[in-house]
Structure 1
Amino acid sequence: MPKRATLEGKGLDVLMPHLRVERGPTRGKTAKLVRKTFLLTPELVEKLDRAVEREGVGKNEFVRYALDTFCKELESEQRKLPVETKEVRTIVTVQ
């Protein structure tokens, strides 16, 4: 199986310099990356698999790029989350 291409070789350092992976003497990566676990629907996993296969990049690189892009769009107000505010009233008993 051929080695999968990464976004690093295609300008990832230019797009997201703060996410560049420094090569260390041991496992190849420094503590700049943090392992997180997220729960995804099977449909979202299938979309992710199709996208990385189509683009020829690794899942980690793709997810880092997608999350970084989405967060930047939220911060610059180019994108809005589809949320609605709901008022909830509760009764509290005093003893």
Structure 2
Amino acid sequence: MKRTLIRYKTKPDMADRNAELIAGVFAELKAAKLEGVRYLSLRLDDDTFVHFVETEADSGSALPGLAAFKAFQNGIRERCIEPPQPGGVTIVGNYRMLAEP
């Protein structure tokens, strides 16, 4: 299981557009019913976005292959004040937020 947390801050005038693009990713994920992929995205009050992605070893490339994800990635740096900062994470505690392994 690979877990990644990505955090970035958008320009105020680009935050709604960024959220729309993310919604498109989730719509395509639901339609495709990808196995082995878990994905959560949050928008903070200051237009910072946080994404948490969990993938099984053999399905790690499925998300970047989605058309909506490619559209989201296109121009991400131009939408941001602070560029995306990805990093691995370890879950320390989980109460009914994420599925239990």
Q: Same fold (TM over 0.5)?
A: no
Instruction: Name the TM-score, length of structure 1 as normaliser.
Output: 0.26
| Higher helix fraction (1 or 2) | 1
* Structure of greater relative contact order (alpha carbons < 8 Å, 6+ residues apart): 2
Instruction: Name the TM-score, length of structure 2 as normaliser.
Output: 0.25
| Higher strand fraction (1 or 2) | 2
Larger-gyration structure (1/2)? 1
